[in-house]
Chain A
Amino acid sequence: NAGVTQTPKFRVLKTGQSMTLLCAQDMNHEYMYWYRQDPGMGLRLIHYSVGEGTTAKGEVPDGYNVSRLKKQNFLLGLESAAPSQTSVYFCASSYSKGTSGEIITYNEQFFGPGTRLTVL
């Protein structure tokens, strides 16, 4: 199993350009997440998805859009890149246990290798 993969690994954009980051997981996980990592700030949640066809905003969603057309893929788009979006982007996937009527427990997230994006 490849786990969680991200493409590309590195990218340099000019201000105003657009791009899409692709995340894929082969673990059949329900939940997928996009985080950004900036120096001294840990990781911050951008958007997340709790299932195919669903997405929701995280802590820092502005300037980003996402789509999850297939369960195994989660795409992060930058429509008009800005220098403030220079960061390392991590995708993660996870799963839960429990059904309706039971206590649902959430498990650890599995992270991809990251994409280093520079916006000039």
Chain B
Amino acid sequence: AQKVTQAQTEISVVEKEDVTLDCVYETRDTTYYLFWYKQPPSGELVFLIRRNSFDEQNEISGRYSWNFQKSTSSFNFTITASQVVDSAVYFCALSGRSWGKLQFGAGTQVVVTP
């Protein structure tokens, strides 16, 4: 069975602070995919990143960066210099070799105050 754990329920920061969201996963598949989605207050789900299990390179996209560590089964997400627009629920998700079905974590609510 696959499992995704996002232990942080809510993180509150002041604008311009950095914030790191933790994601720990469990899977028996040797090939799998990890994702992060953002859900702003408007409710839609916005795709942020997809990472293959055989690609452990970290990635940076603007103020966003992701740290994938297979040895600890973690795929953490950092927002640098947070802004109010970053306030949202962030979901980590995992899919294996079975038709792309996603197993979501419970989500982390990020609140950025001015």
Contacts and interface: CB of A to CB of B under 8 A. Distances in A.
Do these two chains really belong together in a complex?
yes
B90 to A, nearest CB: 11
B100 A90 contact: no
Interface in B57-114: 91, 93, 95, 97, 99-107
Q: For this complex, into which size category does the number of interface residues on chain B fall?
A: 20 to 34
B78 to A, nearest CB: 20
A40 B44 contact: no
Given A42-B91, A113-B44, A114-B43, A106 B106 contact: no
A39 B52 CA distance: 29
B52 to A, nearest CB: 7
A105 B102 contact: no
A105 B101 CA distance: 12
A61 interface: no
Given A41-B106, A42-B106, A106-B33, A96 B100 contact: yes
Q: For this complex, into which size category does the number of interface residues on chain A fall?
A: 20 to 34
Contacts of B100: 31, 94, 96, 106-107, 109
Contacts, number: 61
B102 A43 contact: yes
B45 interface: yes
A90 B45 contact: yes
The 9 closest A-B pairs by CB, nearest first: A106-B100, A42-B104, A111-B45, A43-B104, A42-B106, A108-B47, A108-B50, A94-B100, A50-B99
26 contacts: A31-B99, A31-B100, A35-B104, A40-B9, A40-B106, A41-B106, A42-B4, A42-B6, A42-B104, A42-B105, A42-B107, A43-B91, A43-B102, A44-B104, A48-B101, A56-B99, A58-B101, A90-B45, A92-B45, A92-B102, A94-B100, A104-B97, A106-B95, A108-B50, A111-B44, A113-B44
Interface of B: 4, 6, 9, 31, 33, 35, 37, 43-45, 47, 50, 52, 91, 93, 95, 97, 99-107
